[in-house]
Structure 1
Amino acid sequence: MLYRALLIGVLINWPFLSVRADAGDGDGTGYWDNLQIHGFASLAGIKTSDNRFFGDSPHTSFDFSELGLNVSLRPAPTLLISAQLLARRAGEMYDGEPALDYALLDYCAAATPDYRLGLRVGRIKNPLGLYNETRDVPFTRPGIFMPQVVYFDQVRNLLLSSDGLVLYGDAYTGLGSLSLSVLHGRAVVDENVEWAYLNGDFPGDVESRSDSWIWSLWFATAGDRLRLGFSGASLSVDFDPRTSAPPILGAGSFDILYWIASIQYDAEDWTLSAELMREPIDWHDFGALYPDRRLTAEGYYLQAAYRVSPGIELMMRYEEGFADRADRSGKAMSRVGGGQGPAHMGYSKIWTAGLRWDLDRHWMLRLEYQRHSGTFTLSSRENPYLPGQVKDWNLVAAQIAFRF
């Protein structure tokens, strides 16, 4: 309740919160002249015909809200310091407790008309796909919700950022620009990872190893009209039972190789985007209750956005996702689970229609309708009674957001 009251208070008093610090000596050369402080907030209402999505949505949920504050400072032309604190409420998955989304130091070691080389260190946004680096702000997402079959909100923190170091470089040619980045570090793991990959909350903890690798390679034509990208992540997560009683699960681990192929074409009034994701996963050493297995999850979507006017945008998207690309009906997965989980948990097919209205540079309204077949994208943490998940269901959402 305190969190929601704070969010509403910020929405009401937003004109007084916009800050740009210019505390130098008045001639534009002060150390703090480049300090910028910005923020955003959003609140959404969600109604589903069945199943829980970001709260008790069958009875209308207002448990999806965000309150963020970001700071950046450029003490020298080659150095940038940046951080963001975010309080995010998303049903049972995220409780609104403030957390550090990212905090990094970016050093540009070389920059010429032909190339740029640099280094970032700290908690860094993972350069995955078209939208992962901008998914934390409502204004820079492609809709109220990300394409769930590629950008899983079930494990948002795992995908969003990593603690480590990234080397990046850009090359500029007459044909366009080529960008490469390679990150080494530790993934951010929370309880949602356990729910998503182990289907429950077991006595013990999940922890990331420190040998995660993330990479991205992009080509963009002049003016960024056409963008082609390939990005991915390789990481391992360990489970430590940490109990004196006989553990339910053994001290196992699962290895993930997650990659995305991306394409986007941006014209004056419309944008077409498409991405394909595959995620080979290997579980091992958890014991008899959770036998060793391997599968490859898959998801893809096609999205079109049309700007009717500078302030109004229409969006259509179709997406499909599968827990195992070799079992697109989900029947084999259901048999392995003894029929406890229905087959439609193995896939999701989603149609989305959305409207974005920018009232001014600070305020935005969004409306969205989704038609779902399957429940692959649902969180088992919010829908733990697996036989009760309904195959065909609808979602309607409205969101108000502001930024300063």
Structure 2
Amino acid sequence: MKKQMLIWIFSAAIFIFGTQVVYAADEPAKFTWHGYISQGITQSVDSNFITSDNDITGELTELGINGHYRLTNNLSVAGQVVYLDGGNRFEQGARVDYLFLDWSINDIWGWQGQVHLGRFKNRHWLYSVTRDVPQTRDTAVLPQSVYFDSFRDVALGSDGIQTSFKRYSNDNIWEVNWSYGSSDINEAQKNFLLGNIASGEIEQDFVHQFSVFWQPSTMAWKLGLSWLESDFTYQASVMDNRFDGEANIRRFMFSAQYFSENWQLSSEILRELQNSQGLFAPNFRERRTAEGGFVQFRYLFNSKVSGLVSYDTYVNNVSDPDGKQLEQSSFGQIPAYFGYVDTIAVGARWDFAPGWRIQAEHHWVEGATRAVSLLDPNIKDRSDKYWRMWSVQLMYWF
């Protein structure tokens, strides 16, 4: 927390100082802002992933204001404040998605660079930099193998530093990104990781990421590789059902996109290594490897209407792909289908007026490893093996 407070104070100080520099130089400040309003209806049937008790609800609300303030020609501040209600997927309420100092570097040996200091946005995955804005997402619920909604706030960005460098040539476009920081873990995320009986404090010590993307000059293709490593620490309270512990996560991912005049194809494949100790018992040790990914096809019927179909899969432990060992080790308390998840989704959207869109989608799911916490004491009642979810969303942006 102290580190994050220092980052916020430093960003605010730069903002104030930069403003004074702008006015002292008698240059007009340039401020731009945008916003969006999105409301929908949704239902998860036979699962508590979004709604409970098979209810049809309006828990699909997104409101956001973002702004960009230019201090000098190569120095600016960008930020976004949002209000979210996504049902059971993440914590309801307002939050600052990002607020960072943006320093643009025009030329370093032919590379164009940017440095972000503060609460920056994750640039390392195909949709990580756009998942916070409804009109830039292909679906309201992104493929959960990669874009796990229960950790939306942690994965969206971090408090720290991020650099991005691009190089344009006659034949190729290269992009190299690096970042280091950490994020707060809220109560809902702690409960998902350790169960709602955990009364201590959990912190993300750091998250270190690197990615590289390549495109031909035609920009028809985009290929990328990314790496992530993160450490978490749990400090148990005096009266706690959990123990002091720590966990390490490493993620390796391959990303690919193809753009045609009338259709787009996207895919990401990940391998995630998880190593934890303590937490559930003083001598508890667990090493496991998860794998997953998605492939998504979008067809543009015209400039206003498009359709989508996707397949998404995730296995919680590659040594137990059908979840049978998970069920045995929990003495039957956790059904085997909580060890994996496979999802087929279809969707459509219509931009019926400038700044207006209506979007609909339906997901058919087998398995539930991403649906609810595996430590929920009533996990059998939280999801069936086969379930589905759908939504219809109206959005306006300006």
Q: In the alignment, which of 139, 142, 148 is matched to residue 138 of structure 2?
A: 142
1:59-105 C-alpha deviation (Å, 9 max, x unpaired) = 21221211111010122221221000011112235443211100011
* TM-aligned CA distance change 1:399 to 1:383, over 3 Å: farther
* TM-aligned CA distance change 1:113 to 1:212, over 3 Å: closer
Q: In the alignment, which of 255, 258, 266 is matched to residue 273 of structure 1?
A: 266
> Which amino acid letter does the alignment assign opposite residue 64 of structure 2?
G
Structure-2 separation of matches of 1:259 and 1:285: 25
> Which amino acid letter does the alignment assign opposite residue 243 of structure 2?
G
TM superposition shift of 1:51: 1.0
1:182-225 C-alpha deviation (Å, 9 max, x unpaired) = 1111133222332333244411111111x421111111111421
Structure-2 separation of matches of 1:30 and 1:57: 58
> Which amino acid letter does the alignment assign opposite residue 264 of structure 2?
T
Instruction: Say if 2:207 and 2:231, in contact at 8 Å, map to a contact too.
Output: yes
TM superposition shift of 1:297: 1.6
Partner residue of 2:57?
A: 61
Instruction: Say if 1:303 and 1:318, in contact at 8 Å, map to a contact too.
Output: yes
Partner residue of 2:219?
A: 224
Structure-2 separation of matches of 1:152 and 1:79: 33
Structure-1 separation of matches of 2:178 and 2:104: 15
**4+ long deviations beyond 4 Å:** 381-384
* TM-aligned CA distance change 1:190 to 1:373, over 3 Å: same
Residue 124 of structure 1 pairs with residue 120 of structure 2: yes
Equivalent position SS for 1:332 = helix
Equivalent position SS for 1:391 = strand
Q: CA RMSD in A?
A: 2.1
Higher mean alpha-carbon deviation, 280-289 vs 176-185, is at: 280-289
Partner residue of 2:9?
A: none
TM superposition shift of 1:53: 2.5
1:317-370 C-alpha deviation (Å, 9 max, x unpaired) = 011111112211011112122210110011111110000111123111111111
**Which runs of structure 2 are paired with 1:293-312 in the superposition (5 Å)?**
293-312=286-305
Residue 378 of structure 1 pairs with residue 374 of structure 2: no
Structure-2 separation of matches of 1:129 and 1:264: 11
**Which runs of structure 2 are paired with 1:172-211 in the superposition (5 Å)?**
172-209=168-205, 211=206
Equivalent position SS for 1:143 = coil
Equivalent position SS for 1:61 = coil
Partner residue of 1:392?
A: 386
Instruction: Say if 1:191 and 1:206, in contact at 8 Å, map to a contact too.
Output: no
Q: Which runs of 5+ in 2 are unaligned?
A: 1-25
Structure-1 separation of matches of 2:179 and 2:134: 25
Partner residue of 1:240?
A: 235
Structure-2 separation of matches of 1:164 and 1:234: 15
Structure-2 separation of matches of 1:392 and 1:384: 20
Higher mean alpha-carbon deviation, 376-385 vs 155-164, is at: 376-385
> Which amino acid letter does the alignment assign opposite residue 288 of structure 1?
A
TM superposition shift of 1:279: 1.5
* TM-aligned CA distance change 1:166 to 1:358, over 3 Å: same
Identical positions, percent: 25
* TM-aligned CA distance change 1:289 to 1:50, over 3 Å: farther
Structure-2 separation of matches of 1:282 and 1:113: 40
Partner residue of 1:9?
A: none
Structure-2 separation of matches of 1:235 and 1:130: 20
Equivalent position SS for 1:189 = coil
Partner residue of 1:250?
A: 243
Q: How many residues are aligned here?
A: 372
**Which runs of structure 2 are paired with 1:142-181 in the superposition (5 Å)?**
142-181=138-177
Equivalent position SS for 1:224 = coil
Q: Which runs of 5+ in 1 are unaligned?
A: 1-28
Q: In the alignment, which of 379, 383, 402 is matched to residue 396 of structure 2?
A: 402
Instruction: Say if 1:47 and 1:61, in contact at 8 Å, map to a contact too.
Output: yes
TM-score normalised by length of structure 1: 0.87
* TM-aligned CA distance change 1:365 to 1:384, over 3 Å: farther
Structure-2 separation of matches of 1:272 and 1:31: 43
Q: In the alignment, which of 342, 360, 372 is matched to residue 335 of structure 2?
A: 342
Structure-2 separation of matches of 1:168 and 1:390: 43
TM superposition shift of 1:399: 0.8
Partner residue of 1:26?
A: none
Equivalent position SS for 1:63 = coil
Structure-1 separation of matches of 2:116 and 2:53: 40
